[in-house]
Structure 1
Amino acid sequence: MTGPMSSTEFGGTLLRWLSESRSGKASALRDGVRSQAQAWGLELKEYADWDWMRKAAALGFIDVDLHADRWSVAPPVLTRLPHADGLALLTGARTARISTRVEEAAREWMELITVPHQPEAGEAPLPDTLLFQYEDPRTLQEAAEFLGARYLPCAALQLSELLPQAVVGAESAPPGGSTANTLEKYEVRLQRFIPVARDDEDGLYRWRGADYARLTRIRRDGVFHVVERQTGIYLELARHRTGVMRWRPESGKGRAGIGRLFVDRYAPLPALHERVAVLCSGFPPSAGRQTQTRAYDNVPRTLAETIAASLQQNLETMARPVAAIGGRTK
C-alpha cells in the first residue's frame, strides 16, 4: 500500500490489525506504528509512536504494560457517556465481525455518529470515534449483544471507583555508583528532570540501570521507594504544594455540573486516570493554549474532583464562561 492515506484508513486499519492479532510486544507495536506511517506517506514527529499507544490505551482500544513489554487489545464495550444527552460510545476491539455488525446496525436501526480523529501535524491518526444515539438506555443492552460487545452503564464513572491513591511504593535500593553519570532529579520549578551529581536530598530521581533500562525512584526521609514516573511527579507536586489541575463548567443551561478538565502538559495523568477522563467524551485530550495544557471534555465536576484527590491535587474551579449567563452574551 503506497501513497498518503486518510486519518480514517490509518487508524481504523491499525486497530483492525490489533483486534485480530489480540496481543504482542509493546516495543514491536511502537515500531509498527512508525513503519506503517512511513509506508503510507505520513511523517511522524519524535515520540508520535508512543503518543499513539498512550492515546489508544486511554480511549479503551488497547491495554499496555511497558514493564512487561506487552500490549493486548481491550474487549469491545458499549458504554454511556456521562450526562451526554443520549450518547453511547463503542470502544475496545474492532474486528472485521464487529465492524460488519456496526455497519448493519447503522443501515437498519441504529443512529451512528462517526467522528474522524483530527491529528495535529506529525501525529499518527487514531481510529474514528463511534457514538450511538439512543432514547431509552434499556435498548443499549440489546444493542451491545447484537454487536458482540459488553454493556457498561458508564465506564468512566465505574473506573473512577478503582483509581489508586498516589503513594510511594515498596522500599528500593538507591542508585549505584555505576549510575552516577545518568542520575537526574525532577525539579518542580523547571518542570523537568535535570542531571545531578548526588542523591542526598528527598525528591524524584531517575537513572539508567545495569541493563540500561531507565529506573524511576522517589526518596522520602532518606529512603528510596519504587514509583511510576507519572505518580512520582504528582507526589513531588503535592510535596511542593503545586497545583496543575483546573476544571471549568460548561455554559449551557443545566450543564453547570459538567465541564472541561485542564491538566498542565508537564504533569501527564497516570494511565488509568487518563482513561477515566477520556471515556467521559470518547475523544483524546486536546492541546490547550500554546500546547501547555491537555483538556478533557464532558467531565462531571464530581469525577474531576475524584481524579484530583487521588493524585493529591486540590482542583481549582474556573469561572463559568460569561457568554451564556442568563442566555445572553456579556
Structure 2
Amino acid sequence: MRADTMLAWMSEIGSGRIRDLRNHIAWLARTANRNPGKSASAHWLRDVSALGHAEVDWERGRWAIAPAVATLIPAGDGTVVLAGRRPLDFVDQLEAEFAVSIVEPPIKDPARLPTPATVYIQTESLAELGSALNTIGVTYVGCAAQGIAGRLPQMRLGEPAGPPAWGTPVEHLVAGTEHGIGFVRGAPDGDGLCRFAVNGRQQYRYRAGGDWLRTDHALGIWWALAEQKEQAIRWRRVREANGDDIGTLFVDQGAPLPPLQARALVLCSGVPTQFGNTARTAIYTNIPWSVADLVAQSVRQFVSVID
C-alpha cells in the first residue's frame, strides 16, 4: 500500500467520514496486492493518529487532517520530525531547503498496513529552522511529546448509562498473568468492563457496584487494569542525554493506549508503534523517563523498570 499517497489524498480532502476513509484505505491496499483484514484500516488510522497526521473521532465517525507541524525529537541533537498535512509535493519543497531524511517505518506484522514515511529534518539552529519552515506553512511546536505528556488529563469513567438490554450478547474483560488481556463471553461476576454491539457498533460499559458507566475501549481497559492492580507498562533504560534517562517502553498487547498517550510516545521518535510477538507487547523507542512516567500516571499505572 502506498501510504504516502493516502496521506496526500487526506491532506487534500481535509476531513470526512471514517467509514468512507476505511473503504479508500482498503481499496488502495488492494491495488498493491494486499488483502487487508477488517481491522487493518482501523489499526492504520490509529497509527496515523499517533503519528500526529490526523485527528480521529471514533464516536462521531469523523476524521480530519492535522495542521503541518515540526516537533523536536527528545535527545535528538536538533532533529525534528514532521507531522500533519503532507500534500504530494511537500517533501520535495522541504528537500530543496533543508537537510531532510526520509525513513520507511519497519513492518514486522504482515497483517498491518504500512504507515507513511517518517520525515526528519536536522538543524543546528532551531530558531532559524522555525522561521524558515513557517514560510512554507509548517509550524515549529517545540517538543510535542513532552508538551502532550505534561498536559494529559487523569482518565475517568463517563456518565451513568443503562446496562445492556436483556438478552443482548455481552463480553467482559479478563486480565492477568495467566490469561493475558482480552474479552470472554458473558457478564462479569462483579465489577468490570463489558462490551456489546448496538446497531453493529461496539459499546462499552463499566459496572461499578450497582452503577453502569459509559466508557470507551482504551479507557475502560486501563480503568479495569488499575482496579485489579494489574501492571501493564514497563520501561528499560538505554542511555542518558541532557540529564534525562532515555529508554524503551513496553505496553502489554490487549491494552491499547488512548490517542493522546499514544501520540506522546510515538512523537518521541517519529516511528509508529512496533509490536513484539514473542512477549506480546507494544514497543515505543527513545522515551524519556519523564514522558514514560507522565503517560503511566494518566492511565492510573506506575512504570516498572526492567533491566
Q: TM-score, normalised by structure 2?
A: 0.93
Match of 1:325 in 2: none
Once the two structures are TM-superposed, the CA of residue 294 in structure 1 deviates from its matched residue by 0.9
Q: Letter of the aligned partner of 1:59 in structure 2?
A: L
> Does 2:15 correspond to 1:27?
no
Among 70, 79, 82, the alignment partner of 2:62 is: 70
Match of 1:36 in 2: 28
> Does 2:220 correspond to 1:195?
no
Match of 1:268 in 2: 256
Once the two structures are TM-superposed, the CA of residue 45 in structure 1 deviates from its matched residue by 4.2
Kept after mapping to 2: 8 A contact 1:98/1:147: no
Q: Letter of the aligned partner of 2:204 in structure 1?
A: T
Q: What is the distance in 1 between the residues matched to 2:247 and 2:215?
A: 31
Q: Letter of the aligned partner of 2:65 in structure 1?
A: V
> Does 2:122 correspond to 1:133?
yes
Q: Letter of the aligned partner of 1:74 in structure 2?
A: A
Q: Secondary structure at the match of 2:196?
A: strand
The alignment yields a C-alpha RMSD, in angstroms, of 1.8
Higher strand share: 2
Match of 1:92 in 2: 84
Q: Deviations over 1:69-106 (max 9, x none)?
A: 1111110001111111121011100014533421321x
Kept after mapping to 1: 8 A contact 2:66/2:85: yes
Q: What is the distance in 2 between the residues matched to 1:137 and 1:229?
A: 39
Alignment of 1:104-119 (within 5 A): 104-105=96-97, 110-119=98-107
Rg (Cα) greater in structure: 1
| Structure 1, gaps ≥5 residues long | 1-6, 320-330
> Does 2:176 correspond to 1:226?
no
Kept after mapping to 2: 8 A contact 1:249/1:256: no
Q: Secondary structure at the match of 1:78?
A: strand
Once the two structures are TM-superposed, the CA of residue 289 in structure 1 deviates from its matched residue by 4.8
Higher helix share: 1
Q: Deviations over 1:156-211 (max 9, x none)?
A: 111112312121111111111142xx111111133211111x566211011122x2
Once the two structures are TM-superposed, the CA of residue 49 in structure 1 deviates from its matched residue by 1.2
Kept after mapping to 2: 8 A contact 1:43/1:122: no
Once the two structures are TM-superposed, the CA of residue 130 in structure 1 deviates from its matched residue by 0.4
Deviates more, 1:71-80 or 1:89-98: 89-98
> Does 2:265 correspond to 1:277?
yes
Q: Letter of the aligned partner of 2:31 in structure 1?
A: A
Among 269, 284, 291, the alignment partner of 1:303 is: 291
Q: Secondary structure at the match of 1:54?
A: helix
Kept after mapping to 2: 8 A contact 1:77/1:91: yes
Kept after mapping to 1: 8 A contact 2:5/2:88: no
* 1:92–1:291 CA distance, 2 compared to 1 (3 A): farther
Q: What is the distance in 2 between the residues matched to 1:199 and 1:241?
A: 17
Q: Secondary structure at the match of 2:75?
A: coil
Deviates more, 1:198-207 or 1:234-243: 198-207
Once the two structures are TM-superposed, the CA of residue 125 in structure 1 deviates from its matched residue by 1.5
Q: What is the distance in 1 between the residues matched to 2:5 and 2:100?
A: 19
Deviates more, 1:141-150 or 1:300-309: 141-150
Q: What is the distance in 2 between the residues matched to 1:247 and 1:122?
A: 26
Q: What is the distance in 2 between the residues matched to 1:164 and 1:256?
A: 23
Q: Letter of the aligned partner of 2:305 in structure 1?
A: T
Q: What is the distance in 1 between the residues matched to 2:144 and 2:153?
A: 16
Q: Letter of the aligned partner of 1:56 in structure 2?
A: V
Q: What is the distance in 2 between the residues matched to 1:51 and 1:298?
A: 22
Kept after mapping to 2: 8 A contact 1:101/1:146: no
Q: Deviations over 1:292-322 (max 9, x none)?
A: 0011111110110000011111110112xxx
Q: What is the distance in 2 between the residues matched to 1:285 and 1:274?
A: 8
Q: Secondary structure at the match of 1:119?
A: coil
Match of 1:152 in 2: 141
Q: What is the distance in 2 between the residues matched to 1:118 and 1:43?
A: 19
* 1:253–1:234 CA distance, 2 compared to 1 (3 A): closer
Once the two structures are TM-superposed, the CA of residue 50 in structure 1 deviates from its matched residue by 1.1
Deviates more, 1:296-305 or 1:280-289: 280-289
